[in-house]
């Protein structure tokens, strides 16, 4: 059974994912897709699972929806190198079917570790399966683009880029949602500075 090592790292998680057999998806995959990006990213994007292109290349979001995701990240004033991108399941469900609850549960050990290691300010969920991790029972059409403070970070549910590619009407919506990210990040930075200043003035006043 995979357990969290004492000195964990993103490389360690990726190495374990590549040889993982914790669920049935290991049988049909070509390559597992651990995720990639900036290990100190302030924004982490969590999709559903690898598709055909991702399974072939072992990289997340490399097909048409990946190209669109790169565009969306640009609408947030960022580049792919600035963020970390992964999925709730790291192996491709056959025929692009939905991942099953027991597969998501089996794979959550890796996503939990990635979130803990990267410790982003903002998590963007892409599609309903990653949304359910933070907003169980909610509907994406009701809550997309609305940031919620969960723990010490913001989680923003968004449509999956593939859905927006297939339904033209959603394209403008998902672009608008990504355009909200710079303000959220700036607010987060301000809150951090305020907390730092408060901490410093508390230290100074305790010196007198
Ligand atoms: S989907 Fe996750 S739990 Fe299942 S085999 Fe792949 S890495 Fe392991």
Summarize the confidence of residues 21-30 as an average pLDDT: 98
Query: How far is ligand 1, taken at its centre, from the CA of residue 93, in Å?
Result: 10
Q: pLDDT band for position 169 (50/70/90)?
A: confident
Give the pocket of ligand 1 (CB within 6 Å).
Answer: 17, 20-23, 25-26, 32, 89-91, 103, 106-107
| For the CA of 106, the nearest atom of ligand 1 | 3
Among residues 150, 92, 100, the alpha carbon closest in space to that of 120 is found at 150
- In total, the chain counts a number of residues equal to 208
Phi-psi region of 151 (alpha: psi -120 to 50; beta: other; left: phi over 0): left
CA of 174 to the centre of ligand 1 (A): 28
Model pLDDT for residues 98-115, shown as the tens digit of each residue = 999 999 999 999 999 999
Looking only at the bridges linking them, the beta strands covering 122-126 and 153-158 are: parallel
How much is the pLDDT for 208? 47
Each residue's pLDDT tens digit, 70-102: 999 999 999 999 999 999 999 999 998 999 999
Q: For a pocket test of ligand 1, which of 1, 47, 90 has the largest count of ligand atoms closer than 8 A to its C-beta?
A: 90
Look at residue 203 and tell me whether its pLDDT is greater than 80: no
Contact by Cβ (8 Å): 43, 120: yes
Q: Is the pLDDT of residue 185 over 60?
A: yes
How far is it, in rounded angstroms, from Cα 182 to Cα 134?
21
Nearest CA to ligand 1 atom 4: 23
Determine which helix (DSSP H) or strand (DSSP E) holds 129, and give its type and residue range: helix 128-134
Q: Which residues contact 12 (CB under 8 A, 6 or more apart)?
A: 5
Rounded to two decimals, the pTM is: 0.92
């Amino acid at each position: 059974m995979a357990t969290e090592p004492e000195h964990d790292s993103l490389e360690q998680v990726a190495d374990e994912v590549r040889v993982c057999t914790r669920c049935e998806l290991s049988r049909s995959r070509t390559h597992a897709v651990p995720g990639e990006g900036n290990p100190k990213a302030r924004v982490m994007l969590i999709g559903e699972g690898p598709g055909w292109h991702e399974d072939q290349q072992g990289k997340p979001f490399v097909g048409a929806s990946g190209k669109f995701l790169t565009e969306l990240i640009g609408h947030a004033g960022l580049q792919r190198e600035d963020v970390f991108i992964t999925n709730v399941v790291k192996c491709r469900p056959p025929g692009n079917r939905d991942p099953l609850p027991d597969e998501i549960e089996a794979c959550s050990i890796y996503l939990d570790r990635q979130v803990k290691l990267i410790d982003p300010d903002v998590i963007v969920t892409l599609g309903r399966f990653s949304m359910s991790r933070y907003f169980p029972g909610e509907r994406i059409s009701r809550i997309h683009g609305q940031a919620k403070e969960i723990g010490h970070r913001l989680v923003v549910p968004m449509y999956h880029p593939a859905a927006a590619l297939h339904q033209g009407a959603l394209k403008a919506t998902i672009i608008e949602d990504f355009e909200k990210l710079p303000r959220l990040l700036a607010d987060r930075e301000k809150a951090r500075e305020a907390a730092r200043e408060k901490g410093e003035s508390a230290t100074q006043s305790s010196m007198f």
